[in-house]
Amino acid sequence: MADDIKALTGDTLFQLPVANAIVTAQHSSRLVGLLLIDFDHADGLGNVSNHFPQQIWTRLRNTLRDTDTIIRMDSGEIGVLLPSVNGTEDAILVAGKIHASFAEPFQSENIRLNVKAHIGIALYPEHGNNADALIQQARVALGDAMRMKKSYVLFSHDAKRRRHSPLRMSRLRQAIVGDELFLLYQPKVIMRDGAVSGVEVLCRWQHPDLGVVLPDDFIPVAERTGLIVPLTLWVLYRSLLQCREWNETGIELGVAVNLSMKNLDAPELPTQIAGLLKSVGVPSKQLELEITESTIMSDPQRAIRNLALIRELGVSLTIDDFGTGYSSLAYLTKLPVEGLKIDKSFVQSMESDRDNAVIVRSIIDLGHNLGLKVVAEGTETRKSAEMLQTYHCDEAQGYYFCPPVAGPKVNEFLAAQSSPLRQPNSPTWSASENNLDNLSLVAPLTDIVNTQKHRYERSGKVNGDELPEFAFKIR
């Protein structure tokens, strides 16, 4: 059964039954309903549908009619096609039933997970007259449902217009000065010994109407409007304050802040960074900046100049999203960077996609040959963590180890990780940030630890070829 949901996957595959249903509906007075389902896991587990395909399938099949189609979309949402409904109310009724069917937690051998389903609904002909449009509108509605924490949202052209209206986004300026932005921190784990080398700083916007807005929705607006400059300074300042707070409690962690193209355009950036480091009182070696490969490669000459100035401060630089930006190898050797971060798209799928595994391995080798530290982001499973270790990747980051969490949760994560009392199966840490109420940290690599336990020392020293002991599991 689990195979059924896997067998029929992908946006493209969904288009055929949707298009067929539309053709049939054209000759009747019936409507076509398209539902997209996702689960509250924002920065927790990655796609819930990856982890519980069987249970999702069973629950949906028990709720829906045989004639309804269920498909796992490319981005992990579940698509449901209701080929023939009487009206909007029918689709809403089905959404309510689906929502209820996910009230019970998912359960597997080690994991019990309470999730909340969110559903986006779009209908033919009202919201779109072809499969593509309908899927897209259902996705917009799903995005609203996730943001507004609603069980379902029916697509509305008005809402779509409102969502990114200049008025709403003009609030971004107010958000920066009015403290509506907040930061989460995602630990980076050293593969050799499981220690945490530092955290990546990820920005969120607590919007008064829209709820928590993710950076993919507001960073592009900030870039277009020039607000990215004050936003980045705010992020730098708050990250350094957090870093100092950790330093004061004896926790020495690096903080990695993301920079945008516009930031590199500003000639005053190095001076501003120097000023912030000095006024907050954090050593420059604790600050790292991540710059995407495409930003650097859009104007490598200029990037080299600006990055060199920042590097002179003692701040380290990493190329982000490596593998997606057509790097010129010639420039790669000239950039004053210390590290490469392999884009998560390769890492996420490396266990199922041999080509991506080869790419990951090649990037690691390339980075090492250039004397760079290599970090893998998007490590979602134990298998991928194991593969990364086999490939001698230096550091890894991802939901498998820890989602982005608020500052105090990083302390708990570190405490759980180093506690001598911590046993592989005892829950020691819980994350409540970003709807993670149901997540609790235990020893993720439980079975590895169990079979190799004798080789672990209480001091946390680990034999070079072993995996770090921790990550998290879901209550």
Residues at the site binding ligand C2E, with contacts judged by CB under 6 A:
43, 46, 186, 202-203, 214-216, 219, 232, 235, 258-260, 290, 320-321, 344, 348, 377-380, 398-399, 404
- Kindly state the smallest distance separating residue 232's Cβ from ligand C2E, in Å: 6
Nearer to ligand C2E, 121 or 219 (CB): 219
One residue of 49, 55, 197, 258 binding Ca ion per CB under 5 A: 258
**Could you tell me where the beta strands, DSSP code E, fall in 116-253?**
117-124, 152-154, 181-190, 196-207, 211-213
203 interacts with, out of ligand C2E, Ca ion, none, CB within 5 to 8 A per kind: ligand C2E
Cα angle 217, 151, 472 (rounded to 5 degrees) comes to 70
Nearer to ligand C2E, 68 or 343 (CB): 343
- Kindly state the smallest distance separating residue 41's Cβ from Ca ion, in Å: 19
Nearer to ligand C2E, 17 or 398 (CB): 398
For every residue of 357-404, DSSP letters joined together read HHHHHHHHHHHHHTT-EEEE----SHHHHHHHHHTT-SEE-STTT---
For every residue of 23-80, DSSP letters joined together read HHHHTSS-EEEEEEEEES-TTTTS-HHHH-HHHHHHHHHHHS-TTSEEEE-TTS-EEE
Tell me how far apart the terminal alpha carbons of the chain are, to the nearest angstrom: 25
Is residue 293 near Ca ion by the rule CB under 5 A? no
Q: Are 300 and 328 in contact (CB under 8 A)?
A: yes
- Kindly state the smallest distance separating residue 423's Cβ from ligand C2E, in Å: 25
Q: How many residues does the chain have?
A: 475
- Kindly state the smallest distance separating residue 328's Cβ from Ca ion, in Å: 20
State the residue for tokens 């829950």.
Answer: 427
Beta bridge partners of 340: 319, 374
- Kindly state the smallest distance separating residue 203's Cβ from ligand C2E, in Å: 4
Nearer to ligand C2E, 348 or 440 (CB): 348
Size of the site for Ca ion (CB under 5 A): 4
Other Cβ atoms closer than 10 A to 165: 10
Is residue 395 near Ca ion by the rule CB under 5 A? no
- Kindly state the smallest distance separating residue 339's Cβ from Ca ion, in Å: 11
For every residue of 411-432, DSSP letters joined together read HHHHHHHH-TT--TTS--EEE-
Is residue 320 near Ca ion by the rule CB under 5 A? yes
Cβ neighbors of 225 (< 8 A, separation 6 or more) are 169, 172, 173
Nearer to ligand C2E, 246 or 401 (CB): 401
- Kindly state the smallest distance separating residue 344's Cβ from Ca ion, in Å: 6
CA diameter of the chain: 72
Helix (H, G, I), strand (E, B) or coil at 201: strand
Listed residue (178, 268, 176) closest to 227, CA to CA: 176
Question: For ligand C2E, which residue has the nearest CB?
Answer: 398
Nearer to Ca ion, 56 or 342 (CB): 342
235 interacts with, out of ligand C2E, Ca ion, none, CB within 5 to 8 A per kind: ligand C2E
- Kindly state the smallest distance separating residue 409's Cβ from ligand C2E, in Å: 14
Q: Are 317 and 307 in contact (CB under 8 A)?
A: yes
109 interacts with, out of ligand C2E, Ca ion, none, CB within 5 to 8 A per kind: none
- Kindly state the smallest distance separating residue 341's Cβ from ligand C2E, in Å: 8
One residue of 321, 395, 433, 466 binding Ca ion per CB under 5 A: 321
Chain Cα centroid distance, residue 370: 28
For 131, 147, 219, 267, 390, the CA distances from 434, given in Å and listed in that order, are 32, 11, 19, 36, 32
Nearer to ligand C2E, 152 or 391 (CB): 391
Amino acid at position 424, single letter: P
158 interacts with, out of Ca ion, ligand C2E, none, CB within 5 to 8 A per kind: none
457 interacts with, out of ligand C2E, Ca ion, none, CB within 5 to 8 A per kind: none
Nearer to ligand C2E, 8 or 214 (CB): 214
Nearer to ligand C2E, 33 or 398 (CB): 398
Nearer to ligand C2E, 68 or 321 (CB): 321
Stretch that binds Ca ion, among 125-133, 250-258, 260-268, 429-437 (CB under 5 A): 250-258
Q: For residue 319, report the phi and psi dihedrals to the nearest 5 degrees.
A: -85, 120
Cβ neighbors of 222 (< 8 A, separation 6 or more) are 172, 228, 231, 260
- Kindly state the smallest distance separating residue 435's Cβ from ligand C2E, in Å: 13
> Where do contacts with Ca ion occur on this chain (CB under 5 A)?
258, 290, 320-321
